Amino acid sequence: MPLVESGPSAPADDTELIARVARAYTSAAAAHPGTGSFWTAFNDGVKRDIHIGLSSSDPAVWAQILRRPDQNAHFWGFDAVCKAPEGEVEPHELVFRNLNAEGDWRLSYALWLHGALISLAEAVGAMRVLYPETAPGVHYAVHGEPADPDVVLDGIAANIDADIDFPNPYPGEIGFETRRGVVGFRALQAIYQAWRVAQIVKGRPNARVLEIGAGLGRTAYYAHRFFGLKDYTIIDIPLTNAAQGYFVGRTVGANAVAFVGEEKSPDQIKILPPESLTTLTEDYDLILNVDSFTELDQPTVSKYWKFARERASFLLSINHEFNPIPLRELHRADPGSSYSRYPYWMRRGYVEELIAF
């Protein structure tokens, strides 16, 4: 399938939302000491202009940063709607340039995205898992492989009982064009993650979920809107909180999001900096972490593990193991919990680990 880019969305009455995001960022950034992870280095380097702009008193600057991430580096490292700074290559593009320096990286990206779409369909039972122990092509000759993403998505939606969509509040999001919106790689990951969270907490009325390190907030969007998980809290560093706040506010609704320093209700998505962790008084049915525990320094990961151990029923981790501290090491040091581990359906090189406390 050819790749397309989302165009400008309809004008939104987002002035008050932008002001709330900027106000929350200024408060959170002033109290945030940073960590030993490479995310701190990113924010002090590549994203320095974003910090300066959101810390300013100019609403026009706030709006330009939040509405047009395709023109800046705000989403650098956690979402593909991003402009690379001078002399750099956007991380998603860099993956494919590293894999094949001679080929067209957009073709590689399209194949990657198609693979993720089929993996999601296989994971939820909308398609049969490829059986490779036949002659080449026989599996799909017998069982078919829909080429139209809309057909695959219809099957996925039916199997998870959620009429999913793909909100594109920003121009420049790369993906496949469908009647549900432009389908990007990160959105497909988020659908699977929200579905898995909903499976784990099923049968728990008014389930309370906490996500540590939430990217753009896409998983929160799907969990809240399509799986009925209304009491959802995000803990992340302030610059990423700002991206999450605007995205969730634009897609779910400004009244459905609450920031640090604001009144909060159980049916809102709460977006908070790490320093707020000590102020949380609730217990959680599940804590989710995707693509960050193995990228944090040891003291920070140990703090989050201790919080989960004391305050959660389950911890679901979806991470790679390339960096020094895989999650299984924390479990080995704390064996009083049950642990299961298996490959992550959606992305080769990642492992899905579920800990029950």
pLDDT (tens digit per residue) in 198-242: 999 999 999 999 999 999 999 999 999 999 999 999 999 999 999
Range 51-64 average pLDDT: 97
Buried b (16+ CB within 10 A) or exposed e, 184-210: bbbbbbbbbbbbbbbebbeeeeebbbb
Q: How far is CA 188 from CA 120, 249, 345, in A?
A: 7, 20, 11
Strand, helix or coil at 208? strand
pLDDT at 289: 98
Q: Environment class of residue 337 by beta-carbon count within 10 Å: exposed (0-12), middle (13-18) or buried (19+)? A: middle
pLDDT in tens, 121-169: 999 999 999 999 999 889 988 988 777 999 999 999 999 999 999 999 9
If one counts every other C-beta atom within 10 angstroms of the C-beta of residue 344, the result is: 22
pLDDT at 329: 86
pTM of the model: 0.95
Examine the pLDDT at 36 and tell me if it is beyond 70. no
pLDDT at 45: 82
pLDDT in tens, 81-121: 999 988 899 999 999 999 888 889 999 999 999 999 999 99
pLDDT at 40: 60
pLDDT at 34: 67
CB 244 within 8 A of CB 216: yes
pLDDT in tens, 4-19: 999 988 888 999 999 9
pLDDT at 39: 57
Which residue has better confidence, 38 or 215? Answer: 215
CB 273 within 8 A of CB 238: yes
Edge-first strand listing for the sheet containing 181-183: 4-5, 174-178, 181-183
Confidence of residue 180 (pLDDT cuts 50, 70, 90): very high
Distance CA 304, CA 346 (A): 25
pLDDT at 23: 98
pLDDT in tens, 311-330: 999 999 999 999 888 888 88
pLDDT in tens, 262-310: 999 999 999 999 999 999 999 999 999 999 998 888 889 999 999 999 9
Give me 102's structure tokens.
């001679």
Which residue has better confidence, 42 or 287? Answer: 287
CB 88 within 8 A of CB 46: yes
pLDDT at 260: 96
First to last CA, the chain: 44
pLDDT at 33: 79
pLDDT at 38: 55
Give me 205's structure tokens.
């009325």
